[in-house]
A and B are shown apart, each in its own frame.
Chain A
Amino acid sequence: MNEAMLLEVRRIAADVLRKSLDEVPASGTRDTIAAWDSMAHVNLVLALEQFFDIQFKPEEMLEMLSIELTAMLVEEKLAGRGAR
């Protein structure tokens, strides 16, 4: 797991969920972070898509159960694209 990437994902999640960075740890999940409801999830996914210039499938959105899993998915997407 790329630490810089993880930090970037936490940063974007904190912005979208209107939390401080500390409130969005890598281990945070949709159960432990109360603000992370389904609308916030859509907002987070779109913010990540825009920032990293990637596009998620609906199936992938369902796998984003924690910040760490989300960051891993972003990393896979970017790796799959071959660039960066």
Chain B
Amino acid sequence: MTREQIDNLIAAGEVAPAAEALKAFLRASPQAGTAAFVTSRFERIAGRLSLTRQKIAFLRSFTIEPMIPVLRALAYEAGIDAQVMVGDHNVIAQALIDPHSRLHAFGADVVVIAALTRDLAPALWHADGDLDVAATDAAEQLGAWIGAFRSHSAATVIIQGFEQPPYATDGLLDALGGANQRRSIEAANQALADVAARHRGVFLLDYDALVARHGRLVWSDAAKDFAMRVPLRPEAYQQLAHEYMRFLRPLAQKTCKVLAVDLDNTLWGGVVGEDGFDGIRIGVDYPGSAYRAVQLVLKALQRRGVLLAICSKNNPNDVLAVLREHPEMLLRPDDFAAMRMNWDDKAANLRAIAGELNVGIESVALLDDNPAERDWVRSQLPDVHIIEATSDPLEMIEALRRSPVFERLALSAEDRARTGQYRQQQERSAAAGSAHSVEDFLRSLEMKATLDEVRPGTLSRVAQLTQKTNQFNVTTRRYTEEEISRFAADPNQFVRTIKVVDRYGDNGLVGLLMGRVDRDRCEIDTLLLSCRVIGRDVETALLSDAASLARARGATLLAGRFRATAKNAPAGDVFARHGFTKVDDSADGSMWQLDLSHQSVTTPEWIVVESAS
């Protein structure tokens, strides 16, 4: 949307769409000029939006004005109407101590003390004099001002720590028995942290870490500093605004409690339904290593008290197999406080997750590699916080670490244990609710299955399935096309295929059952399913069909062998689930039997079965 279109929306009184358009505008061009535009337009509509007002006073030793429009735009984006006061240059002490200062008249909720090392502690900056004393003095002086301020104000205080110079004044000697400037500045910062710890509502902003992260040499602009006291480059002002937002969001309670994550190409590379348990990329080799690093970041967020949830279009059984058994996964089922794995709309699933975890939808963040899903969720639930990253896992890591919505200013033992509490609650309700929801899910798929014998056109796919299928495969016998066609040519044997179409599209030929009739006994030689349809009762349709064929050929027993492999656990209970009885257990697997004279296999009503032959 252009500036003119946004202005038209505002003129027409379309306040909410205008706000969303302004946010999108800022995302598309996160620059100083755009921020000024966005701020000026938000000002016009702020009165009609539901925003949290925050009064922020900056006491500063340098020009911070270029940062203000950026900060205000980011605050509006977060749902905060930031009212800003900027103190006069270098009147920090007076403003804090004097109960009649402009600062007190302003009535700040948050006071930021933004002073540079060279202004507040010149001896440290120039390594001039006794640096141990200088470090102590600098911190004590600030501590005394804050103590005086606390005696008449309860406002939150953010102290900006001391930054290191790009080059130590003594050069190499600094670390080789020289002035030890670096260590002294670190000591001053530690003393500031102690000051912060002594007071309620006083926090230290690690300014040195911020500068170092972006690069000391590209942070400042010496020429403009000398000429007009504008020491920072535009990018630095922007990053400074982002850093302040890390504090302002938790103070205004504009953070997220839940991070919902997609799975395929987000927690691992590839699509588990397509590539299979063994085909997804996760582990020590790139790109699996990058996805593992994403999981490490998620674990760290969890320790910060953020609840993780799964919101993914997937087969639950595929996913659970990976979560439970994949050796390279760092995240396990217990790490997720809620899971939604189905083919329903993601916005509905996010609403359900918020409901289950009993948080507002504005407390939910979403990490998803698919831009279409992100846009859809944004359009349906504008209050969900979308983590801005492409499908590159490294970009996701950066976006998660950079995000202000997971910042916490304090952490309780309860925060750290939170996921466990939700898990217990979830397990209690699972017994009551899950069977119902799985059935709903299967019904919602509107599956139509077509059973057929193997034909010349499907021969290569059938052979390929026997070659490739590892998970849902009871005997894991591999066949060539030639072998399949010979098997099918024997009148006492049959090769049955199943195709499945659902409301999301055609899954193609996804299942196979090969049987051999010997007098009154029909034995299943092969039963397999593509991982695309595991967990959908498609095997029931194949078994029901096999039972009918066996009966028609005079058999009274349907038998099947399960040979366990490293990978076929998903098929482990298939015979037991369909009423078969175990009759033998040997090195070659377990043998199961169904008595066809008084037992049958019924396909559930949510699969409509057609027979092509």
Question: B372 an interface residue at 8 Å Cβ cutoff?
Answer: no
Distance in Å: Cβ of B29 to nearest Cβ of chain A: 9
Question: B603 an interface residue at 8 Å Cβ cutoff?
Answer: no
Chain A: number of interface residues, binned into ranges: 10 to 19
Which residues on A sit within 8 Å (CB–CB) of B32?
16, 43, 46-47, 50-51
B221 touches A15 (CB 8 A): no
Residue of A nearest to B230 (CB): A42
Determine which of A11, A18, A58 lies in contact with B223 in the assembled complex, contact meaning CB atoms within 8 Å: A58
Give the distance in Å from the alpha carbon of A61 to the alpha carbon of B34 in the complex.
21
Determine which of A43, A49, A57 lies in contact with B69 in the assembled complex, contact meaning CB atoms within 8 Å: A43
Question: B480 an interface residue at 8 Å Cβ cutoff?
Answer: no
Main secondary structure of the interface of A (DSSP, over half): helix
Which residues on B sit within 8 Å (CB–CB) of A61?
224, 227-228
Question: A32 an interface residue at 8 Å Cβ cutoff?
Answer: no
Give the distance in Å from the alpha carbon of A42 to the alpha carbon of B234 in the complex.
10
Question: B66 an interface residue at 8 Å Cβ cutoff?
Answer: yes
Distance in Å: Cβ of A60 to nearest Cβ of chain B: 10
Which residues on B sit within 8 Å (CB–CB) of A46?
32, 66, 230, 233-234, 237
Which residues on B sit within 8 Å (CB–CB) of A55?
221, 233
Which residues on A sit within 8 Å (CB–CB) of B66?
42-43, 46
With A50-B31, A51-B31: A57-B223 Cβ-Cβ less than 8 Å:
yes
Distance in Å: Cβ of B455 to nearest Cβ of chain A: 62
Which residues on A sit within 8 Å (CB–CB) of B33?
11-12, 15-16, 47, 50-51
Give the distance in Å from the alpha carbon of A61 to the alpha carbon of B31 in the complex.
20
Question: A34 an interface residue at 8 Å Cβ cutoff?
Answer: no
Question: A39 an interface residue at 8 Å Cβ cutoff?
Answer: yes
Interface positions, chain B 450-504, Cβ under 8 Å from A, are: none
B40 touches A47 (CB 8 A): no
Give the distance in Å from the alpha carbon of A57 to the alpha carbon of B222 in the complex.
10
Question: B544 an interface residue at 8 Å Cβ cutoff?
Answer: no
Give the distance in Å from the alpha carbon of A42 to the alpha carbon of B34 in the complex.
16
Which residues on B sit within 8 Å (CB–CB) of A51?
31-33
Interface positions, chain B 237-275, Cβ under 8 Å from A, are: 237-238
* Contact indicator per residue, chain A 2-30, by CB within 8 Å of chain B (1) or not (0): 00000000011001101000000000000
A50 touches B223 (CB 8 A): no
Give the distance in Å from the alpha carbon of A58 to the alpha carbon of B237 in the complex.
18
Determine which of A15, A39, A57, A58 lies in contact with B37 in the assembled complex, contact meaning CB atoms within 8 Å: A15
B228 touches A47 (CB 8 A): no
Which residues on A sit within 8 Å (CB–CB) of B69?
16, 43
A43 touches B36 (CB 8 A): yes
Distance in Å: Cβ of A58 to nearest Cβ of chain B: 3
Distance in Å: Cβ of A12 to nearest Cβ of chain B: 4
B230 touches A15 (CB 8 A): no
Which residues on B sit within 8 Å (CB–CB) of A15?
33-34, 36-37, 40
Given contacts A42-B230, A55-B233, 11 further A-B contacts (CB under 8 A): A15-B40, A43-B66, A46-B230, A47-B33, A47-B234, A50-B235, A51-B31, A51-B32, A51-B33, A55-B221, A58-B226
Q: B residues bordering A, Cβ < 8 Å?
A: 31-34, 36-37, 40, 63, 65-66, 69, 221, 223-224, 226-228, 230, 233-235, 237-238
- 6 A-B pairs, CB-CB below 8 angstroms? A15-B40, A46-B230, A47-B36, A49-B234, A50-B33, A58-B227
The 6 closest A-B pairs by CB, nearest first: A58-B227, A50-B234, A47-B33, A46-B234, A15-B37, A47-B32
Q: A residues bordering B, Cβ < 8 Å?
A: 11-12, 15-16, 18, 39, 42-43, 46-47, 49-51, 55, 57-58, 61
